[in-house]
Amino acid sequence: MQNAMHDLPELTRSELAARLNALRLAQRSQPMPDWSMRAARLMTLQRLIVENRAALIAAVNQDFGQRPAQETELLELVPVLAGIEHALKQGKRWMRLRRRAVGWRLWPASGWQMPQPRGVIGIVVPWNYPLFLSLGPLTGALAAGNRVMIKLSESSPAVFALMHKLIGDYFSPDEVVVYGGKVEEARAFVSLPFDQILFTGSTDVGRSVMTAAAGNLTPVVLELGGKSPALILDECDFEQAVSRILYGKLVNGGQTCVAPDYVLLPAGRETDFIAVARRWAERLYPAFPRDFASMATASQFKRMQTIHDEALTLGALAHGLLPTANADAVTRFFPPFVYTGVPDESRLLSEELFGPLLPLVPYQTLDEALDWINDRPHPLALYVFTRSRRAARQVLQRTHAGGVTINDTLLHIAAAELPFGGVGASGMGAYHGKDGFDAMSHLKPVLRQGPIRALDWLAPPYGAQFDRLVKWLTR
């Protein structure tokens, strides 16, 4: 299937623009699809997934080299199907006019917001979760009544070939289209005058996407990265905290944008953490590398090795969680490590890791831990482990993060009812559920005035009556 990608023509910017214009013309012919049409498209997407579940899982596995089918099922298909189900149940309600009071000064006017499709949405998808991060945003775009162009990563050739076929089989070419291509085509894609772009990827690439979109004044939703901390407080269930951090870190081989990127824990508990982490790693992966995802590309494997080696050179200590497991450049399996004594200048603490490497950062007081988080760019996710509601509230009030899960990891992104998005360097805008519907709609404000209006008493010629009324209006 990988070779099939190269049989599909790469499109020039002018060809992509022509496809965009065709979608825009189709949208213009049906600018406000009713709920029955939107629901039919959502059910088509649902059917595409259910009827091709095995093929989609196999394509992801082929691109990765090895990714457990169970992880693709659980981490990609389950949340996408849950999101579609949620949209089918709630979407008609989301479409309703939203009454807004306009104030007595405009009497007798009334006001409301009308959710209106933006038009054509461009969705740019990374390689780490190619199904969840394409079909999830597609759900919101279709529920909001839009047409969609999807750009998949050049590192997902098998997924692209399959998605190109399936989208073509299940959807009309004037509803949804899928493209692949390399960096040059990605640049051409994001420079098109979409009505909105939704990009998921690194912060650096996100900046270039925003720059390209600015040329067309295209609004963007950016879901970026960042170093997401896991904060362990003294009074938490320590064993549970370590086990849940480890699960969130190691699924998909750590190649998850909201994976815990480092652990802040009370000073002196590092040895305890390593012991518990080893016990849980051996329980989760008794026959490594079975059930463990490989690094998706050779460059990703090389990056893990480079970051690991640099940390050791700078004096950090690496603690293998699976003592008999070794890195293998041929199969691209990289075993999990926990690190202590990591210098601040190490890439372990300065870059988003996106792999099974987990540095430990000890702290003396909660204030010190919160200062550590706040001295760095706002993360996409924050995980806090505590039995104390008061302590959790303090952490929530004193930190910024795109989303938070308390006493677990990853789960806030799986809730269709909660928005998913970043803040600051980790992104802007949010989607999922109603928030995705709203993000991909223009909530058009409308004011209706009556046959008589208070403003008539404020019209020229100005005089004493005007002065009295303005004084009353501004009292």
Cα–Cα distance, 432 to 427 (Å, whole number): 15
Give me the helices (H) in 103-149, please. 132-143
CB 278 within 8 A of CB 321: yes
CA distance 363 to 7: 55
- Does the annotation count 257 as an active-site position? yes
Spatial distance between the Cα atoms of 13 and 93, rounded to a whole number of angstroms: 38
* Residue given tokens 């996710």 in the structure block: 381
The SS3 call for residue 403 is strand
Annotate 336-356 with b (16+ C-beta within 10 A) or e (fewer). bbbbbebeeebbbbeebbbbb
3-state helix, strand, coil in the chain (%, to 5): 50, 15, 35
Query: Nearest-5° angle of CA 113, CA 403, CA 293?
Result: 125
**Helices and strands counted in the chain (H then E):** 19, 18
Distances in Å between the Cα of 63 and the Cα atoms of 71, 99, 154, 159, 202 are 14, 48, 10, 7, 20
Per the residue annotation, which of 223, 236, 270, 352 is the catalytic one?
223
- Cβ pair 444, 104 in contact under 8 A: no
DSSP string, 421-469: E--GGGEE-EESHHHHHHHTEEEEEEEE--SS-GGGGGPSSPSHHHHHH
Alpha carbons 80 and 57: distance in angstroms, whole number: 13
Catalytic residue chosen out of the listed positions 185, 236, 257, 352 = 257
Residue (of 219, 211, 221, 70) closest to 136 by Cα position:
221
DSSP for 82-114 reads HHHHHHHHHHHHHTS-EEE---GGGTT-EEEEE
Q: How far apart are CA 185 and CA 178, in angstroms?
A: 13
Residue 460 CB-half CA count within 13 A: 0
Residue positions annotated with a catalytic role:
223, 257
